[in-house]
């Protein structure tokens, strides 16, 4: 699998791209200036890095994503569980639950998601 690790600045730009694609590179410069207070040179530097990684594409001054948001989120989630919790999803969930920030509705939603994924694999 391709390394989809993004630095914070890259993720911020991809968020703008995902929300607005396809968009002209000049429009991306404007949006990054408004949302992130970036100069034109910063925008093009980050865009170039994303294109080199194969995450975004700038073709004929039209910017699009090459990787969907969901794939990046899946990759980063798996990587964080692997790195911080030795690959143990239960250890990650336990650490999250220990924060005490889970509402009853969120718990019910998580239970439903788990049950759906278990049914799908049977």
What is the CA 119 to chain-centroid distance, rounded? 27
The alpha-carbon radius of gyration of the chain (Å, integer) is: 18
13-48 pLDDT, tens digit per residue, is 999 999 999 999 999 999 999 999 999 999 999 999
What is the longest distance spanned by two Cα atoms in the chain?
A: 52
What one-character DSSP code corresponds to residue 15? H
Residue 1 pLDDT exceeds 60: no
Nearest Cα neighbor of 52 from 94, 12, 7, 82 is: 7
Cβ-based burial of 117 (10 A; exposed 0-12, middle 13-18, buried ≥19): exposed
Using pLDDT thresholds of 50, 70 and 90, give the confidence band for residue 120: low
Residue 122 pLDDT exceeds 90: no
Interacting residues of 72 by C-beta distance below 8 A, sequence separation 6+: 4, 6, 11, 14, 55
Global confidence as pTM: 0.80
């Amino acid at each position: 699998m391709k390394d989809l690790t993004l630095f914070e600045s890259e993720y911020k730009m991809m968020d703008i791209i995902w929300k607005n694609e396809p968009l002209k590179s000049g429009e991306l410069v404007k949006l990054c200036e408004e949302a992130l207070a970036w100069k034109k040179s910063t925008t093009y530097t980050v865009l170039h890095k994303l294109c080199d990684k194969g995450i975004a594409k700038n073709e004929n001054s039209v910017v699009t994503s090459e990787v969907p948001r969901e794939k990046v989120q899946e990759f980063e989630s798996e990587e964080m569980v692997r790195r911080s919790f030795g690959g143990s999803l239960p250890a990650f969930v336990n650490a999250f639950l220990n924060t005490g920030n889970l509402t009853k509705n969120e718990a019910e939603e998580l239970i439903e998601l788990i049950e759906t994924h278990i049914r799908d694999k049977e």
